[in-house]
Amino acid sequence: MTYDFRAIEARWQRFWDEHQTFRAEVDPERPKYYVLDMFPYPSGDGLHVGHPEGYTATDIVARYKRMRGFNVLHPMGWDAFGLPAERYAMKHGVHPAVRTAECIRNFKRQLKTLGFSYDWAREVDTTDPNYYKWTQWIFLQIWGAWYDPEQGKARPIGELEIPAEVSAKGAAAVRRYRDERRLAYLHDAPVNWCPALRVVLANEEVAEQVELGHEVVRRPMRQWMMRITTYAERLITDLEGLEWPASVLDMQKHWIGRSEGAEVEFPIEGADGIKGAGAAINVFTTRPDTLFGATYMVLAPEHPLVARICSDQQRTVVQAYVDAAARRSERERQAEAAEGQKTGVFTGAYAKNPATGGRVPVWISDYVLMGYGTGAIMAVPGHDERDHAFAQAMDLPIVEVVSGAARPIAEAAHTEAGLAINSDFLDGLATPQAKQRMIDWLEERGLGRRRVTYKLRDWLFSRQRYWGEPFPLLHRPDGAVVAVPEDQLPVTLPPLDDFQPSESGEPPLSKAVGWRELPDGSLRETNTMPQWAGSCWYYLRFMDPSNAAAPFSKAAADYWLPVDLYIGGAEHAVLHLLYARFWHKVLFDLGHVGTREPFQRLVNQGMVLGATYYPRGRAGIQQNFPLDEVEPVAPGSDQWIHKLTREPVEVKWDKMSKSRGNVVNPDDVISQYGADTMRLYEMFMGPLEHSAPWQTEGVAGCHRFLQRVYRLAFETSDDEGVPDRLRELPAGEGSDRQRRLLHRTIHAVSERIDRLAFNTAISAMMVFVRDIVAEGEPLHRDTLAQFCLLLSPFAPHLAEELWSALGQRTSLAHELWPAADEALLVDPTFPLVVQIQGKRRAELAIPQGASEEDVKATALAHPDVQRHLDGKTPRRVIYVPGKLLNIVV
């Protein structure tokens, strides 16, 4: 027999289950460590090898921290609402709940075979009514709150002071006053409506559907929104102090997109039969200093003023442009515009530039977005590239108002700062001062004001789908929207077998007759929540997953928060993390959690890439060959050819996906090599943060290493049926040499786990195993025992097996992590590298603590050094203690 990983892994997984080895409970006596994975969506395809990369990393940290004496919370659950289950239901007639349960079972089975030290008693499933009851409860906290700008925080809506003139108008007016200020509110928002599928598409889905030939139109729809923009400032400032990758911090900041500037009013000129006379166009600008150079204006096609100000001659062409814009998705419009195709039409209206007093034409164009700023801009073609391109295309005037342009202003916009020119009272001022001066001037005259704008938009929070959390809201006959009382939560999903929205876009739940109507004539809200809802707070539920009276207890939250380490893919760098932070802040304001931020340290693992074989020169999705149709020209070659045609094939490393056919299933790897090998290889591929290709040959190397470890303890026989025998290992840690090797390994592995440098931690253990065998001295018992502890976070099954073979009765999961004896980390001598002119010429052993003079003298006397010096006199000698000597001649 040899290393029988199947039996070993099954045995220890059973042991951990039976002994509840990884059960975690609140224990104020011990320091806590909360290490969290981004929980998966349990798809029908099952795990691919990309999932366990992050999970293995967190598991190593969890096991390591546990052995360091921390009370570790390491949970897992399922982000199980979502579109795929609903689509599957439409196609195969299987209810999403049934399908989801199947997928979860499969995912859980796969995760269990990897031996992760999750506390499975804390498993959560976002589609479980006992879970989404509290998702609904949190929604009601948000809906039941408003943002008090004076205190800079959310407060219960009941604390909102109602002005006397509002209360005088009666209950309906008070209700409206409150509803307009809630953190969740109804709003007509433009969405991507796909008539063919009868669903609202996410921006990222639009391209795909258009490719499939489905028409997608922008269309306003009544939606629930969340007022995340009120938190914009705090979402930026609280990033300070988080241990997150700088790139993610940047992405969040850019997404929120704070910019300082001014809001300026341009009155509409009442001439030529323009109906909009008397109205004004509000614009936001970050460059109020260039106001004298504003030669035209542009409104977004959806801007409410467009219809009002449009002249009769222009009405037809304007209406056509607006209609065309509505037919195209936001992404499509922006993509075309980015390629330099500037389109737009003149409305026939003119506005008055408040600085120059001059008349400027008002246009509409795609390149102005309704969702940002005020949906209107003052165009300064001299100093903004987009405006410049538009002005050139439409033959609009360009005026230079900032000096210092490198090229004539007619040719290119000058966007840098400079000194104001052609700008009356601003002339000669530098850009920053000119901005301030202009804002002051506008404010004095009531023509504008200082303003901060964010790119961040309010969060569209409702979906016209079945497989999501129902909103716990009722529409009363009088039009009032009221909350379902807390004691009636959860509002469960009604059974339904038709998941299609109606022609008009009414959500599927509107078809749930008998569920939707209440005896008093109220109707339930029929939208459902987006998938984000469940994932916005799952890390909170993990702290106290079976609490029936509250989403989590105060005691649990005070003990476990914040999450100390959160690992997941970079694709969640913005949306998920931003939404979860937002909810957390609302809960913080309302006193439910005690930390401002949920996730203290964040690490993004890289992608695991799969080899994809394409016909030469035609790399692209749907073009690739399946793996069994290709082979290398010769064993070990990286030149691949098609088996039948013998044509050369191009190998690319792509993100694993079913459509590319490059997915590697962990089940296959585990059945061939075992979970410990799989875990080891996942970590050995390279740095956690980097994407890395999955190379099946590489797995064998990790397997060989574990076999060597196994044979350190066991004598194996090739003969069938001869059981492995535990070697007789002498007691203690052995010779000085063995002890040095052991302690050096302890030191290296510990320090590298601390840095999440798992690939090099593993190589340190490989070196240990190689050298310990080569020594010729038998391995000693205590040396092996301590090595088992080092190995256990990485390959826990084998480590447990050896640990018990050494006579231990309990799991090593709660053993104390070995401590390196500092004295053994230093050798009596160190190798000194001698360089001449920066080139390595010799290496000699120098006793530890030798004086600089002695070292120099010894080095200079060395024959190799003498030879390379070739009679020249050293001009300078640089000594780096303990390392290196560089001789300059």
Give me the least distance between CB of 342 and RNA, in Å please.
Answer: 5
Q: How far is the CB of 248 from RNA (least distance, A)?
A: 9
Q: Rounded to the nearest 5 degrees, what angle is found at the Cα of 94, between the Cα atoms of 91 and 95?
A: 115
Contact at 8 Å (CB) between 104 and 78? yes
In the block, residue with structure tokens 């469960």: 492
Closest to RNA by CB, 49 vs 493, is 49
- Name which of 683, 821, 707, 807 is nearest 757 in CA terms: 683
Q: Based on CB atoms, which residue is closest to RNA, 2 or 313?
A: 2
Q: Which is nearer to RNA, 294 or 489 (CB)?
A: 294
Please, which residue, 499 or 705, has the CB nearer to RNA? 705
Chain length of the chain: 889
Helical H runs in 180-311? 203-211, 232-237, 246-256, 305-309
| Residue type (1 letter), 314 | Q
The nearer residue to RNA, 158 or 723, going by C-beta atoms, is 723
Distance of alpha carbon 519 from the chain centroid: 45
> Residue 437: helix, strand or coil by DSSP?
helix
- Pick between residue 73 and residue 844 the one whose CB is nearest to RNA: 844
- CB-based burial of residue 700 (10 Å sphere; 0-12 exposed, 13-18 middle, 19+ buried)? middle
Of 217 and 767, the one with the shorter C-beta distance to RNA is: 767
Q: How many CA atoms lie within 13 A of 285 on its CB side?
A: 30
What CA–CA distance (Å, rounded) separates 166 from 326?
37
Give me the least distance between CB of 43 and RNA, in Å please. Answer: 18
Shortest approach of RNA to residue 739 CB, angstroms? 20
Minimum CB distance to RNA smaller for 390 or for 441: 390
Minimum CB distance to RNA, residue 192 (Å): 13
Contact 17, 10 (CB under 8 A): no
Shortest CB 763 distance to RNA, Å:
4
> 557 vs 663, which CB is nearer to RNA?
663
Query: Least distance in Å: CB of 258 to RNA?
Result: 9
Residue 759 beta carbon to RNA: minimum distance, rounded to whole angstroms: 5
What per-residue string of b and e applies to 164-187 under the rule 16 or more CB within 10 Å gives b? eeeeeeeeeebbeebbebbbbbbe
The minimum distance between CB 56 and RNA, in angstroms, equals 15
**Half-sphere exposure of residue 91, counting CA atoms within 13 Å on the CB side?**
8
Would you say 33 or 758 has its CB closer to RNA? 758
Angstrom CA distances, 698 to 603, 669, 715, 875, stand at: 25, 12, 26, 50
Cα separation, 431 vs 414, in Å, equals: 12
User: Least CB distance from residue 701 to RNA, whole Å?
Assistant: 3
* Residue 124 contacts residue 541 (beta carbons within 8 Å): yes
Helix axis angle for 666-673 and 696-713, nearest 10°, is 30
Gap between the Cα atoms of 423 and 883, Å rounded: 65
Q: Report the residue number, 372 or 515, with the smaller CB distance to RNA.
A: 372
Q: How far is the CB of 614 from RNA (least distance, A)?
A: 13
